[in-house]
Amino acid sequence: MSLVRRELQQQAHRLASLYASTAIEAGVTARLAGATLRTLREADYEQIKRAARIDAVAALRRRSALLELTADTVPTTDGAVAAKEGGDGHR
């Protein structure tokens, strides 16, 4: 194995480790925030959680809509992707 290839693999593994540690930290932070909220606002916890879910769904729908508007392709009902009418699929 060449020296360059080995170095590239090592750098890729380091990057993957950084991404994994960031994801783990985000998950831990979310769980701690939820536990803290449940402890501090026990009576309102379910309503707050429900409102947060509604906001998250709305945000995801907006993001998806924006992606559909800016993409050269559109998703079909079966999950496939088709080219927009009048477009050649290239930017």
Joined tokens for residue 35 = 């536990």
Structural domain total, the chain:
1
pTM: 0.44
Is residue 90 domain-resident?
Answer: no
CA distance 87 to 50: 41
Helices (H) and strands (E) in the chain, counts: 2, 2
Structure confidence at residue 62 (pLDDT): 77
Query: 15 is in which domain, residue-wise?
Result: 3-83
48 lies in some domain = yes
- Residue 13 falls inside a structural domain: yes
pLDDT digits (tens, 9 = 90+) for 25-41: 988 998 898 889 889 88
Asked whether residue 91 is assigned to any structural domain, the reply reads no
**What CA–CA distance (Å, rounded) separates 37 from 31?**
10
* Residue at 31 is within a domain: yes
88 within domain boundaries? no
Is 77 part of any domain? yes
Q: What's the pLDDT score for residue 7?
A: 92
- pLDDT band of residue 14 (cuts 50, 70, 90) is very high
pLDDT tens figures, 41-78: 888 888 888 888 888 778 777 777 667 666 665 556 56
